[in-house]
Amino acid sequence: MSAAGRVRRIAVLPGDGVGAEVVAGPVELLEAIAGAGRIELTGPWPVGASAFGELGTGLPADTLAACDGSDAMFFGAAGEHPGVSLDDYRPEHSIIGLRQRYDLRVSIRNIVRAGEGGGRPLIVLRNLLGGAYGAASTRTESDGTDAACDEVILTPDQITELAEMACDLVEQGLASSIVSADKANLMATSRLWRSITGQVAEKRGVPLRHTYIDRMAFELAHDDVVADTVVLTEGIFGDMLSDLAAGRAGSIALCGSASVNPGPPVQGRCVGLFEPVHGSAPRHTGKGRVNPSGAYLALAALLEWFPETAELGPPVTAALSEALQAGPLTYDLAPAGTEPAGTASFAAAVNARALPRLKELL
Ligand code: IPM
Ligand code: MN
């Protein structure tokens, strides 16, 4: 049965390098969902260094118009592109530009473990704007003579919104507790963070443990923090911890990323950018060998973000978990001495498990 509400429109932006390869399988699922009238799909739209190489801008006007007119962006990768020098175009430009345009101020990342079949992911929740991710006005560049400076500014409202969202995830049954990681033994912003996150969790009756960010890094690397937890932390800490958790899980491809505006849209109707956390992987581009798991996790997060499609997310995650458990796995996860699967054949294994489940719901 379909949830009542509007039909959400998704813009597909494959981006650079392996982006197009990893989104191909998930896009087949999106096409099936669109075929049943449950979403609208537009694209592929050019973005990133490849768009810069072709059109002279990483964020072409047609792409931005299509994103303004969509509820969410399904993004492949931003990175390098042959023939485009890093001096002319910085790969982070497109991602940061889209975050700012749509006020995508919160990042939610899901990290799964291969072979753990069906377990809940570890979630890293952080601010994406503000804090260490302040606007250009918080930065003082240096030509090498004077000091450089990056100001870290966090408001009580920003921290409250993040803490409430972490509690929402626990209440929705997506995790059973929160670990808040900060540097309250050093930074004023962390002391404010610690006091507000504690108050919000107490008010909501959600279990929350405070820890220092360095201890958190140790615990993640040591595998003490299991799935089923929301790691709630400042933007720059979460940037590092999400890569660390993916590394501990076995591959950067085991992390899906949602950058969202939890409030009303500020530009058109777009409120989210959903992508695998890995970049464009220039060394692997065109070889059909990279792991598309992060793009599937991003797809599940996208579907779950909107009430109208929320029920369609878990079947995607379940299909991915099964395919990861059954193998064969892509080169990054394949046991030594086994023949790795390619991107397309691993995606086909996920889709063969996801499509029958989705069709029951469409
Ligand atoms: C990420 C990236 C970005 C970030 C960069 C490109 C600004 O590392 O999405 O994790 O730090 O958020
Ligand atoms: Mn990062």
The C-alpha R_g of the chain, in whole angstroms, comes to 20
Find out whether the peptide bond into 276 is cis, omega within 30 degrees of 0: no
Is 50 exceeded by the pLDDT of residue 32? yes
- How much is the average pLDDT of 153-171? 98
Is 90 exceeded by the pLDDT of residue 359? yes
d(CA 82, CA 271): 31
The band of 279, judged by pLDDT with boundaries at 50, 70 and 90, is very high
CA of 33 to the centre of ligand 2 (A): 30
State how far Cα 119 lies from the chain centre: 19
Closest C-alpha to 19, from 277, 278, 257, 280: 280
The 3 state secondary structure assigned to 130-180 is EECECCHHHEECCCCCCCCEECCECCHHHHHHHHHHHHHHHHCCCCCEEEE
CA of 239 to the centre of ligand 2 (A): 5
d(CA 32, CA 65): 25
d(CA 141, CA 139): 6
d(CA 20, CA 14): 5
Is the separation of the CB atoms in 339 and 300 below 8 Å? Answer: no
Q: What is the pLDDT of residue 2?
A: 46
The verdict on the CB of residue 21 being under 6 Å from ligand 1 is: no
- In this structure, the dihedral spanned by the alpha carbons of residues 27, 112, 300 and 46, taken in order and rounded to 10 degrees, is -40
- Least confident range of 11-25, 52-66, 113-127, 258-272: 113-127
Report which protein residue has its CA nearest ligand 1's atom 5: 92
- How much is the average pLDDT of 64-78? 98
Pocket test for ligand 1, best of 108, 125, 239 (most atoms within 8 A of CB): 239
Give 243-262 pLDDT, tens digit per residue. 999 999 999 999 999 999 99
For residue 236, give the ligand 1 atom closest to its CA: 11
Give 163-189 pLDDT, tens digit per residue. 999 999 999 988 999 999 999 999 999
Indicate yes or no: pTM above 0.75: yes
Smallest-distance ligand from the CA of 280: 1
The verdict on the CB of residue 275 being under 6 Å from ligand 1 is: no
CA of 350 to the centre of ligand 2 (A): 26
- How much is the average pLDDT of 45-70? 97
Q: How would you classify residue 322: left for phi > 0, otherwise alpha for psi between -120 and 50, otherwise beta?
A: alpha
Q: What is the pLDDT of residue 226?
A: 76
List of residues 6+ apart from 206 with CB closer than 8 A: 166, 167, 170, 171, 177, 178
Q: Which residues pair with 233 in a beta bridge?
A: 126, 181
Phi, psi dihedral angles at 280 (to 5 degrees): -85, -10
Closest C-alpha to 166, from 207, 125, 128, 196: 125
DSSP 163-230: HHHHHHHHHTTS-SEEEEEE-TTT-HHHHHHHHHHHHHHHHHT--EEEEEHHHHHHHHHHT-S-SSEE
The verdict on the CB of residue 92 being under 6 Å from ligand 1 is: yes
The verdict on the CB of residue 95 being under 6 Å from ligand 1 is: yes
Pocket test for ligand 1, best of 92, 105, 233, 255 (most atoms within 8 A of CB): 92
Is 90 exceeded by the pLDDT of residue 41? yes
Give 137-147 pLDDT, tens digit per residue. 999 999 999 99
What mean pLDDT, rounded, does the chain reach? 95
